[in-house]
Amino acid sequence: MTRCKKGWFIGEKDNESNCMNRKVLILFGVCLLLFTANIWDVSVYILDESKNAACAREMMESGSPIVPTFNYELRTDKPPLHYYFMMAGYSIFGKNEMGARIFSSLAGVLAVFMTFWISRIFLGEKKAFYAALVLVSSLQLAVQFHLAVPDPYLICLFVSSLFVFLLAYTKNSKSHFFLFYALMGLAVLTKGPMAIVLPGGIIFFFLILKKDFNFKSILRIQLFPGLLIFFLVVIPWYWAVGEATDWEWPREFFLVHNIGRFTGKMEGHGGPFFLPTVFVIAGLLPFSVFIFQALHLAWKDRNNDLILFSIIGAGVVIIFFSISKTKLPSYPEPSFPFLAILLGNFMAKLDIPEFIKKYKAKASLIVLGVIAFLLPVAVYIAWGEEADLRPFQPLSALLIGIPIGTVWGIVLFNRGKTQQAFFSVSGGFVISGLILFYAIFPKLDNLSPIRNGLAKMDQSKAILHYRSYNPAFSFYIHKEIEKLGSPQDVQKRIDEGEEFFLISRKNDIHDIEKINELDKIFEQKDLFELPYTVILHFDPNKH
């Protein structure tokens, strides 16, 4: 055996390229391990995940691939592509957590691969490796790719379509252009018109800065036959769901869930203009500490088409969601692969002493060291704010790998071992991610009012809900949960004399608490949410 550069063992006949290939294989093995970690053993609980996973199950049970429903009523929030992947997951693994999430995880792995693939073509394997390392090290992305929501599919299809466009543009390849339009159509089937607006804006500004925005270039990018392909992918389902719902689905989706979210705060998710930028920097930790230096270098390197394209891609996405009135941490995530490319371009040059000094890389690592120590402390303090979580505060110590990996990385960096330093920092975050998914989240899952509330109910009896309720109940209760909207509705059901369980929120039951026939059998605060889940029981044999 011989040792390849930077301390990686390879066979005697291997060369430096094979050494890098070994690292790439290990990186993607870690990526798959992290993104799929324990997706089968933690309850579907987060509100959006619950609604999407239940909707996919109901569509599968109804045998209709056209009309999305939640609790067997029309759901207009999202187009259907992620539902189809969940239905495929249910067919393979059963109607459970694994089935709902497996393709989200694989979409994440594919998004990382596409980032590596395009970077290797335009920047070389070393920078491509670092770009992928940035994405694998992001705990926010690891969590996102664990969820049964449309965002993993959007991220994957969004960046894949644009990367294919860039390759088509530089190679002048008709087949790649046609693939771009097909992928963009699939992205629109995942989250709607934003998957047209954002790629269109990115390509427009790219052509402007390339001084290539003219009729000839429009013909070259196969706009007209490409739009035909795009519409052939998109129109059939949108038309079918419109006809099937008397056009209620398109009206609600486009007017409420797109225009409404952009022009107004939805569900209280607002914030200042700069909030998406904060989301991006926090979400791309640990390596986002280099983001401003990376942007400065990228502007100098903008003659490279991928660098210019990535600057524009990240900028358009972040500015778009900064203008939007509704702001969520997941919204600017499609910018992450573009920023990872810019960070990879920067990090690959940090083995040059003059470059390190010029861009003050050591100062950024010191900032990262402070953040790394504060993260477990912040978790400890945050859990102390919730009475149910206080017994679990000691679990925050399991995140000690983040400061340990970061400190050792700083030591290695100061010794001139740049690559090992980045592996150490990344390793601390990745190991902590695995601990989160395998040790901490399962412990917290025991506090779920869904898991504990289901244990209090006999699901063979009628199960109803009063006004609002935690939607995760619909994922686990495979039947309609009938809604009661007034005390009179509740009294009517009591008068019918049939035993039932009534799920609600603590704030919603003030006007029915005094109904003597109802017994409160369960009350628990929703995990990481403000409401309390309450379950009431009517037993005609007791009254």
For the ranges 442-451, 471-480, 519-528, the one whose mean pLDDT is highest: 471-480
Average pLDDT, the chain: 92
pLDDT at 394: 92
Q: Is the peptide bond before 152 cis (omega within 30 degrees of 0)?
A: no
Q: How many residues belong to the chain?
A: 543
DSSP code at position 523: E
For residue 173, give the H/E element and its range.
none
Residue 528 has pLDDT above 90, yes or no: no
Gap between the Cα atoms of 543 and 534, Å rounded:
21
Which band of pLDDT confidence, cut at 50, 70 and 90, is reported for residue 254? confident
Give residue 419's identity as a one-letter amino acid code: Q
pLDDT at 324: 86
Domain boundaries, given as residue ranges, for the chain: 1-35, 42-349, 450-538
The predicted-structure confidence for 463-505, as pLDDT tens digits, reads as follows 999 999 999 999 999 999 999 999 999 999 999 999 999 999 9
pLDDT at 379: 92
pLDDT at 282: 96
pLDDT-wise least confident of 200-209, 385-394, 412-421, 482-491:
385-394
Helix/strand/coil for 521: strand
Gap between the Cα atoms of 297 and 165, Å rounded:
24
User: Given strand 519-525, what is the order of strands in its sheet?
Assistant: 482-484, 462-466, 500-505, 532-538, 519-525
Given a contact cutoff of 8 angstroms between Cβ atoms, the answer to whether 432 and 402 are in contact is yes
Residue 234 has pLDDT above 80, yes or no: yes
Which band of pLDDT confidence, cut at 50, 70 and 90, is reported for residue 277? very high
Which band of pLDDT confidence, cut at 50, 70 and 90, is reported for residue 16? low
Which band of pLDDT confidence, cut at 50, 70 and 90, is reported for residue 9? very low
Given a contact cutoff of 8 angstroms between Cβ atoms, the answer to whether 71 and 244 are in contact is no
Percent of the chain topping pLDDT 70? 94
Beta strands in 366-457 (DSSP E): none
* Average confidence (pLDDT) over 289-313: 97
Give residue 208's identity as a one-letter amino acid code: I
Residue 33 has pLDDT above 70, yes or no: yes
pLDDT at 1: 35
The predicted-structure confidence for 315-337, as pLDDT tens digits, reads as follows 999 999 999 888 889 899 999 99
Given a contact cutoff of 8 angstroms between Cβ atoms, the answer to whether 115 and 284 are in contact is no
Beta strands in 385-443 (DSSP E): none
Residue 292 has pLDDT above 60, yes or no: yes
Which residues are within 8 A (CB) of 166 and not within 5 positions of it... i.e. 6 or more apart? Answer: 118, 122, 305, 306, 309
pLDDT at 448: 87
* Average confidence (pLDDT) over 458-463: 94
Which band of pLDDT confidence, cut at 50, 70 and 90, is reported for residue 141? very high
Taking every pair of C-alpha atoms in the chain, what is the biggest distance, in angstroms? 83
Q: Give the pairing of strands 462-466 and 482-484.
A: parallel
Helix/strand/coil for 83: helix
* Average confidence (pLDDT) over 189-203: 94
